[in-house]
Amino acid sequence: MLTGSKVGLRARHEGDIPVLQTELYDDVVNASRSDARPWRPIPPGSEGSRFAVNDEEEGRVPFSVVELDGGALVGTATLWGIDNHNRSAHVGLGLLPSARGKGYGTDVVAVLCHYGFVMRGLRRLQIDTLSDNAAMLRSAERNGFVREGVLRSAAWVMGEFLDEVLLGLLVEEWKRDSPV
């Protein structure tokens, strides 16, 4: 398990999937805001669940996020769009509603940076988020990510177009006082 100051990132367990499905995906508004694909109903236990782990899928590393104090499941984190040639990847996370507002997002981003830069040897990490996602913008900027641009009206979310903000962090800008 990779650890930060508040959370750990570990392999996804089979028992995590129903919780993540119910708490994150079955919340249509939350799921629509966090995925570029249109929401559709997916039955529990389906192979189509976006939380199911496919070990053969290249370019994507999913984690479950757990509290260090007690080990409770609090969300999901992913390094995705991994490009080994250009040594870059995207950072993504989703916290259960009960875990929001506790500083876990900032810690998750820090741990994913450690994983991407130290363990994967990447040079650049990127976060793409909706412009009104203040929590993710704060978590990214607290970890040194820089706003690189805005994609105007780039995301179709719940019947309207929203702006997306692109943030980037290069390995030489990263502060290593992060997780183990």
- Within a domain: residue 121? yes
Does 48 score more than 70 pLDDT? Answer: yes
pLDDT of the residue at 8: 97
Does 32 score more than 80 pLDDT? Answer: yes
Cβ atoms of 17 and 42 within 8 Å: the answer is: no
Cβ atoms of 145 and 116 within 8 Å: the answer is: no
pLDDT of the residue at 38: 87
Number of domains in the chain: 1
Tell me the average pLDDT of the chain: 92
pLDDT of the residue at 177: 66
Q: Which of 81, 77, 102 minimizes the C-alpha distance to 90?
A: 81
- Within a domain: residue 153? yes
- Within a domain: residue 179? no
Token representation of residue 63 = 């984690």
- Within a domain: residue 180? no
Q: What SS3 string covers 132-151?
A: CCHHHHHHHHHCCCEEEEEE
- Within a domain: residue 164? yes
Helix, strand, or coil here: 47?
A: coil
How far apart are the C-alpha atoms of 91 and 153, rounded to whole Å? 21
Mean pLDDT of 73-87: 97
How far apart are the C-alpha atoms of 133 and 100, rounded to whole Å? 12
Q: What is the CATH number of the domain that holds 18?
A: 3.40.630.30
pLDDT of the residue at 69: 93
pLDDT of the residue at 115: 97
Token representation of residue 20 = 């993540």
Higher pLDDT, 32 or 89: 89
Mean pLDDT of 69-89: 96
- Within a domain: residue 15? yes
- Within a domain: residue 138? yes
How far apart are the C-alpha atoms of 138 and 66, rounded to whole Å? 21
> Which pLDDT band, with edges at 50, 70 and 90, does 178 fall under?
very low
How far apart are the C-alpha atoms of 108 and 2, rounded to whole Å? 10
DSSP per-residue codes, 146-176: EEEEEEEEEEEETTEEEEEEEEEEEGGG---
- Within a domain: residue 49? yes
Residue 168: domain span:
2-173
